[in-house]
Structure 1
Amino acid sequence: MSESKETFVGAWKLVSVEFHDTTNGGVRTAAANGRLMYDEQGNMSAQMFYPGRPMFASNDAFKPTPEEAVAAFSGSTAYFGTYSVDNEGQTIIHHVEDSVYPNYIGQHLRRKFRFDGERVTFSTEPVILDGQQVIVSLTWERIAS
């Protein structure tokens, strides 16, 4: 099935996260909150946060303790840029302009996609997370306008 960029336009809510271990085939899930936005001009943004991140004791966003900073950073991801669709490969590509994870800046993040009604699942290429090589599957549900 051929999908145009317009198919992705709108706001999406994260409904599930799965980590598929590429070495042993194991799958683990994680709770997370997230939003994904695509517009008609080809712009996109993604934000994902894991629950349980500690509040900063100082109540100062620029003065966390080292432990608070690590927990806040490792418990979230966010980036923005533009996007394109490769129908032949059933892939959406996020062209990252800026990110909380500096290694993403300037990268082209390829995500295989599969639609199921008002939901879409994106699967990453293999990545290293917490020392393991995994494929991450993120399922998003369209937010009604």
Structure 2
Amino acid sequence: MKAADLMGTWRLRSWRNVASDGIGVDPLGEHPVGFIFYNHDGYMSVEIMASHRSPYHDPDVFGGTPAERSDAISSYLSYSGPFEVLEDQDAVVHHIEVCSYPNWIGNAQVRYAKLDGNVLVLSTKPMVFQGVERRAELVWDRIGHD
């Protein structure tokens, strides 16, 4: 896979985290919503959220009660930064500069990539998700192509 193969906008079809025993969970529910963008300038961005998030009662974008803010951040993941493709490993590395999860800022996240036409599958090494070691698998559909 080459960087040119990833260029464009992709819509999230599914996100499943699978443990070594094969048991999987949907971390943001059955129908998460999201996009991943790979740009010709060598930067990427991803935004993923649960499909049914509750709005704040306060109209201030920085408002909300502590419980509302906690619910909002626990149902949303985003990050952005430069990316590189490791052609010999079928992997893409996301070098994270901004992230909703502060622990990833300044880190490189490796995603193993499989491309089949206009379907992209990105997966991770096992990592801790919701207290259990699991491997994430995200399926994306390319937007704008038949």
TM-score (norm 1): 0.93
2:12 equivalent in structure 1? 14
Match of 1:25, SS?
coil
The one-letter amino acid of 1:27's match is G
CA distance in 2, matches of 1:80, 1:33: 17
Q: Name the residue aligned to 1:96.
A: 96
Amino acid at match of 1:84: E
* Paired letter, 1:28: V
Gaps of 5+ in 2: none
Aligned-pair CA distance for 1:79: 0.8
User: CA shift at 1:63, angstroms?
Assistant: 1.6
Please give the alpha-carbon distance, in whole angstroms, between the structure 1 residues aligned to 2:14 and 2:88: 26
Q: Could you say what secondary structure the match of 1:134 adopts?
A: strand
TM-score of the superposed pair, with normalisation by structure 2 = 0.92
Residue number in structure 1 paired with 2:3: 5
1:36 paired residue number: 36
Q: Aligned partner of 2:62: which letter?
A: F
Give the root-mean-square deviation of aligned CA atoms.
1.2
Ranges in structure 1 where 5+ consecutive residues have no aligned partner: none
Q: How does 1:32-111 map to 2 (within 5 A)?
A: 32-111=32-111
